[in-house]
Amino acid sequence: MNGTLLGVDVGGTFTDVVVAADGTVTTAKVPTTTDQSEGVLDGIERACEQSGHSLSAVDRFRHGTTVAVNAMLEETGGETALVTTDGFGDVLAIGRQDRPSLYDLDARRPDPLVPPERRYELDERATPEGIERPVDPEEVRSVAAAIDAEAVAVAFLHAYADPSNERQATEVLRSELDAPVSASHEVIAEFREYERTATTVADAYLTPVVDDYLARLTERARDRALPAPRVMQANGGIADAETVRERAVTTIMSGPAAGVVGASAFEPDERAGLITFDMGGTSSDVSLVRGGEGERTTEADIGGRPVRIPMVDVRTVGAGGGSIAWVDAGGALRVGPQSAGADPGPACYGRGGTEPTVTDAALVVGYLGAETTLGEDLTLDRAAAETALADLAATAALDDAVDAARGIYRVANATMTRAIRGVTTERGHDPREFAVAAFGGAGPMHAAALADRLDVNSVVVPRASGVLSAFGLLAADESHDAVRTHRTTLDDADSTPVESLYEELSESVLTDASDAEAAVCQRQADLRYAGQSHELTVDVHGDFSPERLRERFHDAHDRARGYRLPEDPVELVNCRVTATISGTVPDVSFEGGDEPRTGAREVLFGHSWRETPVYDWGSLTPGQAVSGPAIVEGGESTVVCPPAWDLTVDDRGTLRLEGTDE
């Protein structure tokens, strides 16, 4: 990948920018703006100015955005109507009978994204075997005349098996309405009517805001002679803006997916994989990387609503640098999920914030210094942080601001440790066999402490850790997915229709690819034992062979669930195809400087203050070793190396922290 490359990732507090050219990387971090496109262009202009490149010299512009996930969580998407089969208008409200919180008698599900008055039913019916009652185009036109919405979702019963009725109704609605129309057979051609309907509704709900944002960003980029942005999808792959504007739901978890892609380039050979730990201003995201690829899933819960699309398997908790500390009704100290965000931000930002946050705690215990800058030009106000923490200490019956800071740090770390255990021990992985890859503005400050709690003795901090999600955009593959339900047991499976289905899915994803000849198609199958309600996705590897696939499923089930049932029938549920055009990690050189140590400050480790040397990351040299305690400061993140840890620098400027036996 040659030329000048630009990656921009928007977070809850900061917008991160990376410019890669001629073996060097220039980074910038600017506050996220209400209109994200403004912050994006501000960051691009700053990074290009620092790198000495004009905006017109940029060859490729890649972007990770939080527009979609924010719209879902904050319920700010477009007004959406649902058109469905007669008798099934309440599928969204009924959902599943599982409880969101088993022992909470007051637990409530979020309201459906489409209220009852915007749900319309049509007298049509399909079965898994085909059309039983065709749709009446005149009835569809009558419904279209009654719809007053910004977007429309169409989800007919069993449209995954035979989409004829849904396709015809969608064509009529698109001809009659100015609003975008999302059809379930185009969004997610899978069985399970609730999840299929909910995902299709989410796509329609997000389309107006994602389309508006990307149109605005593309126009502003064009005005500055920048190329059109290509956007990170939830599956960890890049697609052009026009493609994702037509399928807005694929941009959910765009930013966290980019971070996992970026971290995968730093997986140590001697480890089973990486635990990726991305701590930003609002939340922390954790995932697993094995064999250079992030773990994937097709099931996610966004704001209490199911979304079934292929995506990088990321677990998110509300613990970030801007997370607010508070005291609950029982007198316990809590951290998050509320965040001070970028405006006004933590108290130490000096922008009017008064509530204590994780960043304020880091400043008071010395992880950050009063002279430390965040985002390159944001200086910190220690007095404001101490005042906010002292007020919290009084409310929580703690000794003083330092005691409150210590408590915030421990509570936040406990929250993030639980998240990491959720993707490791709860899924049968021993975290001690992995290394922790720390990134995000706050991740490297907490990584070694989390590793200690997990008995992990290896932490990797990439050179661009503070903006690694933006760096990951540059290395990401182009990726397109397609899925269709095909239900049969492997014993009864006829290879001919299955092969035909895979060929059809391959044609579909190659149509979306920017270069079909360069794309590689990967076949997968969702399989389960008869009677199970959830599937495992298994690689097909070449032509469809029930015998080979059965053995792969037994092995996969044993790894994931700890047992196999070789005598039980195995069911094929869904066929999947992914088209991938491989990306390339930009070559980056690192030389370091002459005098890395910049000073020292008192830092609290446990209950003891230690005078701790402070180093400038850019001045460390390859091969250099430092024994903890130590602080390493970069332009966008600060690394804390505690006592009983050693730090070394590799040829790319990556910091490797290793726990000792002390």
pLDDT tens string 623-655: 999 998 999 998 778 999 999 999 999 888 899
Q: Give every strand in the sheet of 630-633, ordered side by side.
A: 597-605, 608-616, 630-633, 638-641
**Helix pair 254-264, 468-475: axis angle to 10 deg:** 80
**How far, in Å, CA of 221 to CA of 244, rounded?**
17
Task: Examine the domain organization and report whether 97 and 164 are in the same domain.
Answer: yes
362 shares a domain with 301: no
Q: Could you tell me where the DSSP H helices lie in 380-533?
A: 382-396, 401-423, 443-453, 468-475, 495-512
pLDDT at residue 662 in the model: 57
Question: Is residue 176 situated within a structural domain?
Answer: yes
Residues 201, 219: Cα–Cα separation, whole Å: 28
Same-domain check for residues 165 and 97: yes
Nearest to 390 by CA among 360, 370, 414: 360
Among 438, 456, 475, the domain boundary falls at 475
pLDDT value, residue 20: 87
Q: Please state the pTM of the whole predicted model.
A: 0.86
Please compute the mean of the pLDDT values over residues 322-329 and round it to a whole number: 91
Give mean pLDDT, residues 393-399: 92
81/197 same-domain check: yes
Supply the range of the domain harboring residue 115: 77-205
**Do the domain assignments include residue 592?**
no
Cβ 637 vs Cβ 366: under 8 Å: no
C-alpha span between 167 and 574 (Å, rounded): 20
Among 350, 346, 333, 319, CA closest to 442: 319
Distance CA(368)–CA(444), nearest Å, equals 12
Do 573 and 624 lie in one domain? The reply is no
pLDDT at 621 over 60: yes
CATH code of the domain containing 68: 3.30.420.40
pLDDT above 80 for 558: yes
**Residue found by looking up tokens 């050693």 in the block:** 646
Instruction: Provide the CB-side half-sphere exposure for 84 (13 A, CA).
Output: 24
- Asked if pLDDT for residue 74 goes beyond 90, the answer is no
Instruction: Please name the residues in contact with 518: beta carbons below 8 A apart, sequence gap of 6 or more.
Output: 581
Q: Where among 185, 205, 225 does a domain terminate?
A: 205
Within a domain: 129: yes
φ, ψ at 629 (rounded to 5°): -80, 145
CA 95 to chain centre: 25
The C-alpha torsion from 25 through 34 and 65 to 206, rounded to 10°, is: -170
| Domain-located, residue 124 | yes
Tokens for 45?
């202009």
Give the confidence band of 270 by pLDDT, cuts at 50, 70, 90.
confident
AA identity, residue 352: G
Structure-block tokens of residue 524: 């997968």
Name residue, tokens 């330092």: 402
The answer to whether residue 107 scores a pLDDT higher than 70 is yes
CA 451, distance to chain mean position in Å, is 22
Mean pLDDT, the chain, integer: 90
Residue 226 identity (one-letter amino acid) = L
Contact criterion met (CB below 8 Å) for 112 and 92: yes
Is residue 591 one of the residues assigned to a domain?
A: no
Where does residue 21 rank: exposed (0-12), middle (13-18), buried (19+ CB within 10 A)? buried
> Do 505 and 440 sit in the same domain of this protein?
no
**Residue 185: closest CA among 212, 157, 208:** 157
Residue where a domain stops, chosen among 375, 396, 411 = 411
- Based on the domain organization, do 191 and 283 belong to the same domain? no
Using omega within 30 degrees of 0 as the cis cutoff, is the peptide bond preceding 629 cis? yes
Domain assignment present for residue 586? The answer is no
Tokens of 187: 């969004």
Q: What is the pLDDT of residue 634?
A: 83
Residue 231: predicted pLDDT: 94
474-522 tens-digit pLDDT = 888 999 999 999 999 999 999 999 999 999 999 999 998 889 999 999 9
Query: Is the same domain home to 380 and 466?
Result: no
Locate 610 and state its tokens. 């230690």
> Which whole number is the average pLDDT over 458-462?
94
User: Number of folded domains in the chain?
Assistant: 6
Predicted confidence at residue 1, as pLDDT, reads: 47
Confidence category of residue 426, pLDDT binned at 50, 70, 90: confident
Q: Determine, yes or no, domain membership for 271.
A: yes
Domain identity same for 271 and 385: no
- 82, 91, 351, 454 from 117: Cα distances, Å: 10, 14, 44, 50
3-state DSSP call for residue 53?
coil
Same domain, 298 and 427: yes
Distance CA 228, CA 226 (A): 7
Same domain, 188 and 329: no
Q: Verify that 83 and 193 share a domain, yes or no.
A: yes
Position 137 in a domain:
yes
| DSSP 8-state secondary structure symbol assigned to residue 518 | T
**Residue 484 pLDDT:** 94
pLDDT tens track for 513-554: 889 999 999 999 999 999 898 899 999 988 899 999 999 999
495 burial via Cβ count (<10 Å: 0-12, 13-18, 19+):
exposed
Decide which of 439 and 586 is more confident.
Answer: 439
* Dist CA 342 CA 330 (whole Å): 30
Q: Which carries the bigger pLDDT value, residue 282 or residue 626? A: 626
